[in-house]
Structure 1
Amino acid sequence: MNLTTFAFILSGVLLNACAQLFLKAGTNAMGGAIHLTAQNALPTFLKVVSQLPILAGLACYGVSLVVWIVGLSRTDVTIAYPMLSLGYVVSALGAWMFLGEVIPPQRLLAIGLIMLGVILLART
């Protein structure tokens, strides 16, 4: 995989992870868990789509899709798709840094293993 292709794939992964963080920030701003019922579906939907972090997350998803398609057109899916696992790493670190989530030691070990796998994959 050349540097340009890697940049497209990595940009898609990073945008996707940013989308997750924005969506979580938006749900946190709404007070946490969303409980849907038939009676509150429309007001809840309107409240969700009025949250700026949620709109930012949806925008990140849209851009990541375009970037991902470009990257995918330039490499094998057997290389590109596993790179999505980097999203777990970025999301976990972002959740720790920006949302105050705790990353216990076992999760840190898992993140390290994911990184090792991505490094091995990128070298093929």
Structure 2
Amino acid sequence: MHWTPTIWTAGWRDRAPCAGHDAPLSAGRSRRRDLPAALIFQAPFCMSYVFIGMTILLTAYGQLVLKWQVGVHGHLLASPIQPLNLLQLLLKPWVISAFVAAFGASLCWMAALSRMPLSRAYPYMAINFFIVALFAAVLFREQLDAYKIAGTLIIMLGVVVLSRSVA
């Protein structure tokens, strides 16, 4: 079987599965629309991976922004924590953007899970370890020693192994 340049439009329950992009959809409930080959990808592509990627990026963004804002406004969290100070921190625009990113990541994650089994999707979330560790070292001068690098590589290897599993 080889993939042909068509786009299937259907409800999420009728879509072609990720592993078999050219699998037929259920009859009667979906439409097929042919497009010029120049307008679409020539290789199998699955939206679930786009949603997983967006989840990873939004999650990493939120973590890095929260770390940055707590570093800048750490005095608001001095012991004992005062409710008014905490509210001031929570209402900072960058902190709000981190929470919006977390909400967006949750929406993307739900979209990914509607298209892919959890056991296949969840290993990709380990990529966050790599992204956050790398950017924390660059942006916040956090130490990235041999143990963190080795641990991150082991996690990434685990992602590769788990992603090869047929789910």
Same fold (TM over 0.5): yes
Taking only aligned residues, the RMSD between alpha carbons, in angstroms, comes to: 1.9
Deviating runs (4+, > 2 A) in structure 1? 31-37, 50-53
Query: Structure 2 regions of 5+ residues with no counterpart?
Result: 1-17, 19-44
> Aligned to 1:3, which of 38, 42, 46?
46
More strand by share: 2
Alignment correspondent of 1:100: 141
Using the size of structure 2 for normalisation, the TM-score is: 0.66
Structure 1 residue 53, shift from structure 2 partner: 2.4
Q: Max radius of gyration: which structure?
A: 2
Check whether the contact 1:26–1:52 (CA below 8 A) recurs between aligned residues: no
* Percent identity of equivalent pairs: 24
More helix by share: 1
1:27-59 superposed Cα distances (whole Å, 9 cap, x missing partner): 01113682454xx53212222123232112111
Using the size of structure 1 for normalisation, the TM-score is: 0.87
> Aligned to 1:28, which of 64, 68, 71?
71
Number of equivalenced pairs: 122
Asked which structure has the greater RCO (Cα within 8 Å, sep 6+), the reply is 1
Query: Structure 1 regions of 5+ residues with no counterpart?
Result: none
Sort the Cα spacing of 1:32 and 1:20 in 2 relative to 1 into closer, same or farther, 3 A. Answer: farther
